[in-house]
Structure 1
Amino acid sequence: MDHAAWTEAQESATVDVDGHAVEMAYYEAGPADAEPVVFLHGIPTWGFLWRGVAPALADEYRVVVPDLVGYGNSENGEGFDRSIRAQEGALASLLDALDVDRFHLVAHDIGGGVALRFAAHRPERVGKLVCSNVVCYDSWPVEFVSTLGLPRTASMDDDELAGQLDFAFADGAYGEADPDFVAGMKYPWLDREGGKRALARAAVSTNTNHTTEIPYGDITADLLCLWAEEDAMQPVSYGERLADEVGGDVVRLDEAFHWVPEDRAETYRSELRSFLGTTERDT
């Protein structure tokens, strides 16, 4: 599925972000009465990151893949917060609108920060939690993202921004990148009106305090850290620390950099199906 087909399959709902009504796009598939599995992306990606994983689970689960507010095909204008603290509230608002109560949560990058906050603050709602190269503790922000938060990003010419995104997604793939993946990741920032400004707003909203303040000990979900071991941005040592504190396992995926759901989609699907199919621990 390319990004145009993914976009065509998306729906949207109005969510609350600190009292602001904001449109949030999401992809949904699978039986409405099946166990829900929610997938969260990071920066500078969007729900299309999960193209090789989420749709394949829709034969058994109700799959929901939001675009964080300000990202992807969600509303990307001014006047609302994009921080992971705000994204946590937006996610809760979306899931309430979709009548999703208890669910499993799969997250990558800053989506992991959102997931960890949600699981700590609403432990009764999260059954199983999968964290893949997520931000946690003081592991972020990284220099590439911080640089995108500078004002010049909003006025950068298309060729320069395309070059930076090619560096992130084409050069950042393990092996030869799929052109459809690279084009899809660039789409919200280069092809949507206001995309460059939205990218700068998203990058400047990164706040390490929003993960250092998480009460990790309050998380009761079964945890799997499904981690690309060759990622320089979010080293596997953070996954090990998270699993040690929360209680859970670390599965290291070799031959993968930061974009692990793309680099190792087949293995990722297999590990995820296996984990989701096991019995939850008592909470």
Structure 2
Amino acid sequence: MNHDEWTDRLESTTVTVDDHDLEMAYYDEGDGQPLVFCHGIPTSSYLWRAVAPAFVDDYRVIVPDMVGYGESTMDDRFDRSIRAQERAVADLFDRLGLDSVSFVGHDLGGGVGLRYAVHEPDAVDDLVLSNAVCYDSWPIETIVDLGLPSTVEEMGVDGLTETLESVFRDTLYGDADDALVEGLVEQWASEEGAVSLSRNAIGTNTSHTTEIDPSAVTARTLLLWGAEDEFQPIENAERLEDDIDGADLVGLEEANHWVPADRPEVYREELRAFLET
């Protein structure tokens, strides 16, 4: 599925965060238990294109673009931290009438899921964290640099998109998926997009994960991790495994940070096996 085909399937609603009304785009297909997939930085819901649609026959699959990303609001007037993203996602769930979900989060989206599972234990039945930000493991240097407005201004839109394309191509395992790379980079290819990415980057606040006690998670938990990640190494998953009661760790070989894209078939298999246990 190319990027245009994906975005054509997205819906939109208004969520409220800190008294700001923000448009949030999301994929919503299928029936049954809600199964949510949440992306990280600097990706979008498109990261899940090879995973999420495979579950629509058995679940109600919901894949949001976090605010400040993808087809969601990008204007320059709101907080994009994972605290705010957690509130945005929670409001989306309320507006969609979801009492409980199975939550799958990658990177920053994993940090959102971890916070939500701690704060709303009755609302999360299953929690799946993939190469998620946690503890004080983030942000990485590239994101710190992008959080400086002067960096993005000096790079310009073309320089920014070239940098992001290089990052994806260098860190996707094996041959890069051209359609995926182009789709993930396209959202930032404008002045508004470039500023939004900088605001997203500067909103990465380590305090929002260090304040969370993973041992408070009561949901069934799977740590489905790319074993060769250079950004969020598998040692972080091992620490989460020790801290979350009953958590299972599955490390996927031949997978870097972008594990849903690196090993989509195996990722689907492991996720389905966990959900159906």
TM-score of the superposition, structure 1-length normalised? Answer: 0.95
Give the corresponding residue for 1:37.
Answer: 35
SS in 1 for 2:188: helix
Q: Distance in 1 between matches of 2:55 and 2:126?
A: 15
> Which residues of structure 1 form unaligned runs of 5+?
279-283
| Aligned amino acid, residue 73 of structure 1 | E
Structure 1 residues 39-87: Cα deviation after superposition (integer angstroms, max 9, x where no partner): 1100000100000100011111100000111111100001110000001
Q: Which runs of 4+ in 1 moved over 3 A?
A: none
1:185 and 2:184 aligned: yes
Q: Distance in 1 between matches of 2:264 and 2:167?
A: 18
1:259 and 2:258 aligned: yes
Structure 1 residues 26-48: Cα deviation after superposition (integer angstroms, max 9, x where no partner): 011112xx011001100000100
Give the corresponding residue for 2:170.
Answer: 171
SS in 2 for 1:44: coil
- How many percent identity over aligned positions? 54
Structure 1 residues 216-267: Cα deviation after superposition (integer angstroms, max 9, x where no partner): 2221000100001100100101101111111211101000111000000000
**Retained in 2: the 8 A contact 1:70–1:76?**
yes
Give the corresponding residue for 2:211.
Answer: 213
Q: CA deviation at 1:161?
A: 1.2
| Aligned amino acid, residue 262 of structure 2 | D
- 1:28-177 paired onto structure 2 within 5 Å: 28-31=28-31, 34-155=32-153, 156-177=155-176
1:21 and 2:16 aligned: no
**Retained in 1: the 8 A contact 2:102–2:124?**
yes
> Which residues of structure 2 form unaligned runs of 5+?
none
**Across the two proteins, how many residue pairs are aligned to each other?**
275
SS in 2 for 1:23: strand
Q: CA deviation at 1:153?
A: 4.3
Q: Distance in 1 between matches of 2:6 and 2:140?
A: 28
Q: CA deviation at 1:197?
A: 0.4
Q: Distance in 1 between matches of 2:43 and 2:176?
A: 15
**Retained in 2: the 8 A contact 1:37–1:105?**
yes
Q: CA deviation at 1:171?
A: 1.6
TM-score of the superposition, structure 2-length normalised? Answer: 0.97
**Retained in 1: the 8 A contact 2:152–2:160?**
no
Give the corresponding residue for 1:9.
Answer: 9
| Aligned amino acid, residue 9 of structure 1 | R
Give the corresponding residue for 2:192.
Answer: 194
Structure 1 residues 143-202: Cα deviation after superposition (integer angstroms, max 9, x where no partner): 0111111113442323311221112211211111111000011011015x6100000000
